[in-house]
Structure 1
């Protein structure tokens, strides 16, 4: 996979399983929810399509309210039971609704659903970026190892702030000014 820069005209955001019974179980979950929320705000400001999954929501609950309340009304949702989103019937078509070849991921758990989805997305030709500080696992070592594996496989594994600044491309724009309050705290 050739190196790439995240382009707001080519990317879509995918949030994986940030659910009521999943997120509080992972390491540093408040940071994950906050950073996922900032990614959502950036997506809204830059007209980046936003999609999210819920893994067996009947048992694991819906998306946590701190994330769900930031979702735009047109965010696409997808229910799944497979660990890799791509193994779920209809998921590839769900992603291809947007004519974009880049996907930025946030979610849990890094070493299970996020890693599996990243590997499968790379295999089917997507350019993939992972906002590492908007992902987590119950065990921090598992998160670290998953990030290393995703990077080795060809994903761009970077902080959420890097994702946003690559999409912004430059300072001085209205989009840049709209995002500044999220980084001044």
Structure 2
């Protein structure tokens, strides 16, 4: 079970034109908005990534506005774990479990999730908050990650798992996000 005391969120490369080209892009961005807002309500550490922003563009406005109090970590490797600044942020977060969302599911999300797992972290792929340019590649990523022991969740499922109790202070805010 997820616990807000030891869980963080990684937002992977939801940038520029590519964000609009992925399968079901509007739903993915909307779900990532809910996930970010929920993580903030629950006090989770958030790490925000951008792949080669000079070429791919910056994070979409809907998300960058929510993340305005921090800066993205730029990377050029598909696997964010190869970026020292990312690994420093992961260590500073002091959690052992990471929710991961973003694009593209079969490239950057996939490689980062696997590497985090190899480093001993628990990883949950938030499947309604990831995508690729094709639905087939999204499904391929989910299948391969599941086969390698990565857990799969959804926005609503993980947020309710983190809040745990309808009497919790955060519950009403989470409920409002989900509705």
For the aligned pair, the TM-score class normalised by the smaller chain equals over 0.9
1:146 aligns with 2:150: no
Helix, strand or coil: the match of 2:170?
A: helix
- Please list every run of 5 or more consecutive structure 2 residues that lacks an aligned counterpart in the other structure: none
Spell out structure 1 runs of 4+ moving beyond 6 A.
none
1:179 aligns with 2:174: yes
Aligned position for 2:52: 56
Cα distance, 1:62 vs. partner? 0.7
1:44 aligns with 2:40: yes
Cα distance, 1:69 vs. partner? 1.2
Q: Structure 2 matches for 1:1-185, cutoff 5 A? A: 5-71=1-67, 73=69, 75=70, 77-184=72-179
Counterpart contact for 1:115–1:146, Cα < 8 Å: yes
Number of aligned residue pairs: give it.
179
Alpha-carbon distance between aligned partners in 1 of 2:166 and 2:85, rounded to the nearest angstrom: 39
Cα distance, 1:173 vs. partner? 2.1
Cα distance, 1:76 vs. partner? 5.2
Encode CA deviations 1:115-154: one digit per residue, 9 max, x unaligned: 0001100000000011000000001011011111111111
Helix, strand or coil: the match of 2:59?
A: coil
Alpha-carbon distance between aligned partners in 2 of 1:155 and 1:162, rounded to the nearest angstrom: 16
Cα distance, 1:21 vs. partner? 2.2
Pick the structure with more helix per residue: 2
Return the TM-score normalized by structure 1.
0.93
Q: CA RMSD in A?
A: 1.2
Cα distance, 1:72 vs. partner? 5.3
